[in-house]
Structure 1
Amino acid sequence: MEDILRPIYQERASQLNTLGVLVVEKKQKSILTDSFDVVLLIIVKEAEKPIFIKHYSYNDKKAALHIITEAKLQKWLLLGTNRKIFEWLDIAKIIFDRNEYVVNLKKELQDFPFNGRKVKMGLEFAKLIRRYIDGKALFENQQYLDAYNHVVHSLHHLARLAVIENGLHPELTVWHQVKQMEPEIYKLYEELLYSEEILEKRLELLFLASEFLIHSKTSLGTAHMIDVLGKKEYWMFNEIMQEAELIPYSVDMAVLLEYLIDKHLVEVINIETKGQGVFHRCYRVNK
């Protein structure tokens, strides 16, 4: 296989822009390679497009070539928006590695420094709060099927948060990981899926149990956000949205901020405007 595909990656490996070339081979009954027999992953410093994908056929088999920029890879690793990349990096065979870039990257992922974990926990917690609050609103409006969808997603974020808290990256089989680490979250998921209670009752019980678990994760889940907000006396909302460290939260920021206010971790500061009786609504960490 490698001999056949070598001409595809060999030219790339000789270019100074290329940081690493990896090969992921399909394993039996695995979903990692999206049904391809092999995935060639090439990491480059820069490119016109952050992702370039090409498909090949050979000997009744098929291969996928993925060329990604270092910046795109780092974004995936931070936001967790491409879960397969973690497993690709873990199991791939390294064909070319400039100045041990890939080796050092894999070591960093294995070590999972606490600051990196804190950011990822913050992002998962923000998504968790969004799903939980939206789901509860739908439940209260008796939109039970839509509420169910949100609860499933909120439990997934809660599970991923628990895995990160335990120092690991969430894999595609996150429920297998959680079953070993925090069985109470796994049990909630089972209750939602398999309970014989009517859907309304299942959701009611899940919201109560989830509220307790979310409360227990609040300190860890909000640590990064609170640290950043603590750097200034107070913030206007637009300033928060433009802060480089907080940009990944942007979609869920308004909901997360209201949650922090509700939990007395952040307080609202009203600053006068030129309009009588109208104030700028600003935010600061409650000390």
Structure 2
Amino acid sequence: MEDILRPVYQERASQANTLGILVVEKNQRFSPATDFFDAILLVITSQSEEPIMIKHYSYHDKKAALHIVTEARLREWMLLGTNRKIFEWLYAAKVVFDRNDFVANLLTEFRDFPFYGRKLKMGIEFAKLIRRYLDGKAFFDNGQYLDAYNHVVHSLHHLARLAVIENGFHPELTLWNQVKQIDPELFKLYEELITSEESIDKRLELLFLASEFLIHSRTRGAVEHLLNVLNKKETWSIGEAMSNEELSHYSVDLSVLLEYLVEKQIIRSIEVETKGQGLYHRYYQV
């Protein structure tokens, strides 16, 4: 398949803004890693009018996809984990063009998983975990067990991803196989949730008790990035926090996370008078 694609990537390699080109070939009969194509051609550019461009090709009984992505968008995916396929591609790819060792340096950085990126990803995963956990608990308390179950499964996935990131690995590949080695207790909890013959309300009740401890034990480490940013100012309004470049990655989960940390007395809320009698602005402080 690479031979068939060679004219396509040679044309791209001749362009000055192309930083690197990688080829990922299908290694199984049914391969979700390549979106069920026979090959993925990933072209990384320094800049482009569009941050992502995709083209599909066919040749006899084969099919391939060309993905052209800017360096900025690729790094955003790597930092935030918003395109998990990219992690599989970077692990499995063959480098066919590399301008000034750009790809070699990128892959080294990817495998080393820089400390800053790790702390930010932990914070984002923890925020998502708290959102799912609290929503699930609310559904459980209201007797909506199936909805509670759905949120709990998602919260365990975020807890699992957090455990993998803590150990310096990217959690995008075979997550539960990684967790089985890294955190057997969490793996057992997940296994019991989905395989137990207990009634769903009993399973959820036990899981909430166990999750409370697992979440509590990880809180300080998981919010280190958030606290470091908040320490840069005396107080923050929610608007200031959400518009901050670093905290904007937490998105809609930031409000819930801040209130959770207030409840756990890790940060405090400060009331500032408004013009309305008895109405206060709510600010946050480490």
What range describes the TM-score normalised by the shorter chain of this pair? over 0.9
The residue that corresponds to 2:34 in the other structure is: 33
The residue that corresponds to 1:22 in the other structure is: 22
My pick for the range that moved more, 29-38 or 204-213, is 29-38
Residue 149, structure 1, aligned to residue 150, structure 2? yes
Residue 129, structure 1, aligned to residue 134, structure 2? no
Q: Is the 8 Å Cα contact of residues 124 and 160 (structure 1) preserved in structure 2?
A: yes
Q: Is the 8 Å Cα contact of residues 130 and 155 (structure 2) preserved in structure 1?
A: yes
Whichever residue aligns with residue 99 of structure 2, its letter is: R
The residue that corresponds to 1:43 in the other structure is: 44
Gaps of 5+ in 1: none
User: Secondary structure of the residue that 2:32 maps to in structure 1?
Assistant: coil
Q: Is the 8 Å Cα contact of residues 84 and 172 (structure 1) preserved in structure 2?
A: no
- Structure 1 distance, partners of 2:205, 2:251, is 29
The residue that corresponds to 2:275 in the other structure is: 274
User: Secondary structure of the residue that 2:234 maps to in structure 1?
Assistant: coil
How much has 1:210 moved relative to structure 2? 0.6
Residue 5, structure 1, aligned to residue 8, structure 2? no
How much has 1:83 moved relative to structure 2? 1.3
- Structure 2 distance, partners of 1:4, 1:110, is 30
User: Secondary structure of the residue that 2:40 maps to in structure 1?
Assistant: strand
Residue 94, structure 1, aligned to residue 95, structure 2? yes
- Structure 2 distance, partners of 1:140, 1:272, is 35
The residue that corresponds to 2:239 in the other structure is: 238
Whichever residue aligns with residue 5 of structure 1, its letter is: L
User: Secondary structure of the residue that 1:235 maps to in structure 2?
Assistant: coil
Whichever residue aligns with residue 152 of structure 1, its letter is: V
How much has 1:2 moved relative to structure 2? 2.1
Identity %: 69
User: Secondary structure of the residue that 1:67 maps to in structure 2?
Assistant: strand
Whichever residue aligns with residue 260 of structure 1, its letter is: L
Whichever residue aligns with residue 11 of structure 2, its letter is: E
Give me the TM-score of the superposition, normalised by structure 1: 0.97
Give me the TM-score of the superposition, normalised by structure 2: 0.97
Whichever residue aligns with residue 109 of structure 2, its letter is: E
The residue that corresponds to 1:213 in the other structure is: 214
Q: Is the 8 Å Cα contact of residues 87 and 173 (structure 2) preserved in structure 1?
A: no
Matched length: 285
The residue that corresponds to 2:160 in the other structure is: 159
Structure 1 residues 157-196: aligned runs within 5 Å = 157-196=158-197
My pick for the range that moved more, 272-281 or 100-109, is 272-281
How much has 1:115 moved relative to structure 2? 1.6
Q: Please, what is the CA RMSD of the aligned residues?
A: 1.0
The residue that corresponds to 1:203 in the other structure is: 204
Q: Is the 8 Å Cα contact of residues 21 and 96 (structure 1) preserved in structure 2?
A: yes
- Structure 2 distance, partners of 1:65, 1:251, is 33
